[in-house]
Amino acid sequence: MVWAWSHTIEAYLNLKTNIAGLPPDQLQCIWAEILTSKFCQKKQQIENRLLYPGKDMPVSCDEFDENFYNEALEVSTQKAASQLVEEIFSFAQNQALCSEGGYQDYVCPYGCHTLPFNLLN
């Protein structure tokens, strides 16, 4: 089950610190997943407009475009870690989803990367 965020400011700062503590390859992977999800959503929006003109259709992306992900992963290697941290944290803030009980934040759109709101050692 997924819950919406409802934490203290300190918890959000802890989360950002925990994101910044991830190794570069994990930051790059998470960033590439976020970009892939955004690409899928945009692609679905365009398809909806073409298939259902004038209707506001919901967007659901069940597919994972591995080719796009691999390209995004390559691009991520050229970004500074601090930029990846900011973009991942911004995504997490906008998504504002956490595990049941509020212990782990979903820092990627697919739920495979989570981090606690408590500081990691």
- Report pLDDT digits (tens) over 78-91: 999 999 999 999 99
CB within 8 Å of 24: residues ≥ 6 apart: 81
Residue 3, pLDDT > 70, answer no
pLDDT value of position 63: 76
User: 121 pLDDT band (50/70/90 cuts)?
Assistant: low
Residue 83 covered by a domain:
yes
Residue 76 covered by a domain:
yes
Residue range 30-44, pLDDT digits in tens = 999 999 998 988 887
What CA–CA distance (Å, rounded) separates 18 from 110? 19
Residue 41 covered by a domain:
yes
Residue range 47-97, pLDDT digits in tens = 877 888 887 777 677 778 899 999 999 999 999 999 999 999 999 998 888
Q: How many domains in the chain?
A: 1
Residue 75 covered by a domain:
yes
Q: Which residue segment(s) compose the domain that 8 sits in?
A: 2-51+61-116
Residue 17 covered by a domain:
yes
Residue 65 covered by a domain:
yes
pLDDT value of position 17: 95
**Tally of CB atoms within 10 A around 40:** 20
User: Which one is predicted more confidently, 18 or 104?
Assistant: 18
Residue 121 covered by a domain:
no
Residue 56 covered by a domain:
no
**pTM of the predicted protein model:** 0.84
What CA–CA distance (Å, rounded) separates 74 from 95? 24
CB within 8 Å of 59: residues ≥ 6 apart: 41, 44, 45, 48
